[in-house]
Amino acid sequence: MKIKVVTGGILEKDGKFLLVQESQKICKGKWCIPAGGLDETESLIDGAKREIFEETGCKVEITGILEIVNEILEGINVVVFLFDTKIVNESIKVDGTEILNAEWFNYDEVLNMKAKNELRADGYFLSAIRNKMNNKIQTLDIIKTK
């Protein structure tokens, strides 16, 4: 079975969360947190920072772990690491090819988007947002890198 590791982060500002609108055919128009596949030669943290920058133009510091998700999708074992972030440089830019748009939404707006089926992957990241809102953030020292 193939394994895919995905990293991403929750960006929060003034009680709103930054979501990106997907352009990929399989999920076109759906909203998600900035996240993507980990490159073979990068750490989890470096992968999350890269994906967030590529999809939003924002530079972040990774400050904690909000959630780890594991599921089997179409014969692929997918492991998703969702990180808490601190925005270092907010310069929102989207390329229009991979990501169509990036916007800030409050939690109720995100829940409404879920009800309208506007979120990618059924909004698996909602519990990570709740963890952030409730300050349920794991420290990074549980990740050991060599």
Residue 134 and residue 107 in contact, taking contact as beta carbons nearer than 8 Å: no
Q: Domains, the chain, ranges and CATH?
A: 2-141 (3.90.79.10)
Between 69 and 25, name the one with better pLDDT.
69
Confidence of residue 126 (pLDDT cuts 50, 70, 90): very high
| Partner residues linked to 7 by β-bridges | 36, 81
Residue 87 and residue 60 in contact, taking contact as beta carbons nearer than 8 Å: yes
d(CA 19, CA 12): 10
pLDDT digits (tens, 9 = 90+) for 116-125: 999 998 788 9
pLDDT on residue 145: 79
Q: Does the pLDDT of residue 45 top 80, yes or no?
A: yes
Scan for tokens 């998703």, then name that residue.
80
pLDDT on residue 97: 85
Q: Which amino acid is at 127?
A: S
pLDDT on residue 1: 84
Scan for tokens 């979501």, then name that residue.
19
Max Cα distance, the chain (Å): 43
Average pLDDT over the chain reads 95
Burial class (CB in 10 A: 0-12, 13-18, 19+), 124: middle
pLDDT digits (tens, 9 = 90+) for 84-96: 999 999 999 998 8
pTM score, whole prediction: 0.94
